[in-house]
């Protein structure tokens, strides 16, 4: 199932300032077009499209539309080339996984272990060039929140072949690169001041 576009509540100027090429209000990252709908369009990742939309509700994740694949893009001025994974959070991993599988999404694996926010259970779905990573809220968050709440899209992890060069290009808008959870990989996170509309990290 091919993810082809994401709708993000963010201003195009903020992405330009962070070193991305913006054309017609959108940024193309590999085989996915990120449409920048403006900061007033909602909060975070507000929509997404697939070459063939999943068949059924997705446990509260945005109802997908159908859109063709964009023409593949090269690297941006900051060196970023594609989306590595899209992150979603769920209060009930089994419930969300069941909904996504019923809609025809391809579950590749599960994992339980450390994440950037502590230990969590995760499920990974292949959505074309990118991965959809579903993270279950840790126990303390589930106890404090609503176990019946819907899943939600949360952020993006983008690919770069040279994270030090990307960090240098983004300057104060990105944190210092550090070792990622995945062995042998490095990660850096755009700051709130970057105003990219959602949590956005870069990984090598």
pLDDT digits (tens, 9 = 90+) for 140-199: 554 556 777 899 999 999 999 999 999 999 999 999 999 988 889 999 999 999 999 999
Residue-range domain boundaries for the chain: 3-203
Q: Does pLDDT of 56 surpass 60? A: yes
Question: How far is it, in rounded angstroms, from Cα 5 to Cα 125?
Answer: 16
Q: Is the pTM of this model over 0.85?
A: yes
Which are the contacts of 59, defined by CB distance < 8 A and separation ≥ 6? Answer: 90, 95, 96, 99, 100, 150, 151
Q: Check whether 114 has a pLDDT greater than 70.
A: no
Task: From 8, 38, 12, 10, select the one nearest 23 (Cα to Cα).
Answer: 12
Q: 116: pLDDT confidence band, cut at 50, 70 and 90?
A: low
User: Minimum mean pLDDT among 11-20, 29-38, 140-149: which range?
Assistant: 140-149
pLDDT digits (tens, 9 = 90+) for 87-103: 999 999 999 999 999 99
CATH topology of domain 3-203: 2,3-Dihydroxybiphenyl 1,2-Dioxygenase; domain 1 (3.10.180)
């Amino acid at each position: 199932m091919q993810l082809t576009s994401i709708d993000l509540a963010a201003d195009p100027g903020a992405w330009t300032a962070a070193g991305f090429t913006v054309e017609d209000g959108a940024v193309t990252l590999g085989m996915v077009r990120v449409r920048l709908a403006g900061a007033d369009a909602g909060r975070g990742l507000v929509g997404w499209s697939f070459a063939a939309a999943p068949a059924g509700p997705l446990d509260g994740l945005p109802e997908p539309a159908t859109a063709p694949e964009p023409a593949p893009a090269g690297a941006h001025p900051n060196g970023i080339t594609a989306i590595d994974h899209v992150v979603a959070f769920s209060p009930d991993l089994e419930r969300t996984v069941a909904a996504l599988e019923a809609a025809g999404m391809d579950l590749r694996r599960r994992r339980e272990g450390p994440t950037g926010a502590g230990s969590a259970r995760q499920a990974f779905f292949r959505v074309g060039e990118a991965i959809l990573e579903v993270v279950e809220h840790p126990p303390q968050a589930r106890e404090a929140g609503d176990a019946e709440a819907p899943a939600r899209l949360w952020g993006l992890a983008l690919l770069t072949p040279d994270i030090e060069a990307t960090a240098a290009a983004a300057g104060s808008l990105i944190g210092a690169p550090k070792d990622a959870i995945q062995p042998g990989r490095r990660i850096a996170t755009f700051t709130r001041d970057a105003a990219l509309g959602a949590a956005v990290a870069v990984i090598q």
